[in-house]
Amino acid sequence: MSLDLNKEKTIKNPLPESLQEAMDWIREQLGHSCDLVIREFRISFSEANKAAIIYTDGLVNLEHVQEFIMKPLMSMEEAAAFRKRERDETELSLIRNIIEYILPAGGIVELEDRDAILNAALTGCAVLILEGCSIAIAIEMRGWEERGVTEPAAQTVVRGPREGFSENIRTNTSMIRRKIKDPKLWIETKFIGKSSQTAVAIAFMNGTARESIVDEVRSRLDAIDIDAILESSYIEELIQDGVYTPFPTVFHTERPDVVAAGLLEGRVAIIIDGTPFVLMVPAIFVELFQSPEDYYQRADISTLVRILRFISFAIALFVPSVYIAITTFHQEMMPTSMLISLASQREGVPFPAFIEAILMEVTFEILREAGVRMPRPVGQAVSIVGTLVIGQAAVEAGIVSAAMVIVVSITAISSFVLPSFNLSISVRMLRFLFMGLAASFGVFGIIVGFIALVLHLCRLNSFGIPYMTPLAPFNFADQKDTLMRFPMWAMLKRPRLLSRGNLTRQRKKASRNET
Q: What is the pLDDT of residue 514?
A: 44
Largest CA distance in the chain: 106
If asked whether residues 319 and 458 sit together in one domain, one would say yes
DSSP notation for 321-388:
HHHHHHHHT-GGGS-HHHHHHHHHHTTT--S-HHHHHHHHHHHHHHHHHHHHHS-HHHHHHHHHHHHH
* Average pLDDT rounded to a whole number, residues 437-444: 92
499 lies in some domain: no
Beta-strand ranges (E) seen in 114-176 are 125-130, 136-140
Q: Is the pLDDT of residue 362 over 60?
A: yes
500 lies in some domain: no
If asked whether residues 461 and 329 sit together in one domain, one would say yes
187 lies in some domain: yes
Q: Is the pLDDT of residue 171 over 60?
A: yes
The answer to which of 36-40, 126-130, 254-258, 385-389 has the lowest mean pLDDT is 385-389
In terms of Cα–Cα distance, which of 233, 251, 258 is closest to 176? 258
Q: Provide the domain count of the chain.
A: 3
Q: Do the Cβ atoms of 267 and 240 come closer than 8 Å?
A: no
If asked whether residues 109 and 243 sit together in one domain, one would say no
Q: Is the pLDDT of residue 513 over 60?
A: no
Q: Please, how many CA atoms are within 13 Å of residue 75, restricted to the half-sphere of its CB? A: 17
Cα separation of 379 and 369, whole Å? 9
Task: Report residue 279's pLDDT band, with 50, 70 and 90 as the boundaries.
Answer: very high
If asked whether residues 349 and 438 sit together in one domain, one would say yes
289 lies in some domain: no
In terms of Cα–Cα distance, which of 122, 102, 101, 57 is closest to 111? 122
472 lies in some domain: no
pLDDT in tens, 447-506: 999 999 999 999 999 998 899 988 888 888 778 888 888 888 888 777 777 776 677 777
Q: Is the pLDDT of residue 8 over 50?
A: no
pLDDT in tens, 183-224: 899 999 999 998 888 999 999 998 888 889 999 999 999 999
If asked whether residues 326 and 263 sit together in one domain, one would say no
471 lies in some domain: no
If asked whether residues 279 and 332 sit together in one domain, one would say no
Other beta carbons within 10 angstroms of residue 480's beta carbon come to 17
If asked whether residues 269 and 321 sit together in one domain, one would say no
Task: Report residue 83's pLDDT band, with 50, 70 and 90 as the boundaries.
Answer: low
The answer to which of 82-86, 356-360, 412-416 has the lowest mean pLDDT is 82-86
Q: What is the pLDDT of residue 222?
A: 92
3-state class of 280 per DSSP?
strand
**Domain range enclosing 248:** 169-283
List alpha helices for 57-203, DSSP H. Answer: 62-65, 71-74, 76-88, 94-97, 114-122, 169-179
Task: Report residue 349's pLDDT band, with 50, 70 and 90 as the boundaries.
Answer: confident
Across the chain, mean pLDDT equals 83
160 lies in some domain: no
If asked whether residues 173 and 129 sit together in one domain, one would say no
Cα separation of 149 and 168, whole Å? 10
Q: Is the pLDDT of residue 384 over 60?
A: yes
Cα separation of 180 and 470, whole Å? 26
For 359-377, give one letter per residue: b (16+ CB within 10 A) or e: bbbebbeebbeebeeeeee
Q: Please, how many CA atoms are within 13 Å of residue 284, restricted to the half-sphere of its CB? A: 22
Q: What is the pLDDT of residue 12?
A: 64
Cis peptide before 487 (omega within 30 of 0): no
Q: What is the pLDDT of residue 47?
A: 58
If asked whether residues 315 and 216 sit together in one domain, one would say no
If asked whether residues 314 and 459 sit together in one domain, one would say yes
If asked whether residues 446 and 381 sit together in one domain, one would say yes
Structural element, H or E, at residue 237: helix 232-239
First to last CA, the chain: 50
504 lies in some domain: no
Q: Is the pLDDT of residue 376 over 80?
A: no
Facing residues of 109 across strands?
138
If asked whether residues 183 and 323 sit together in one domain, one would say no
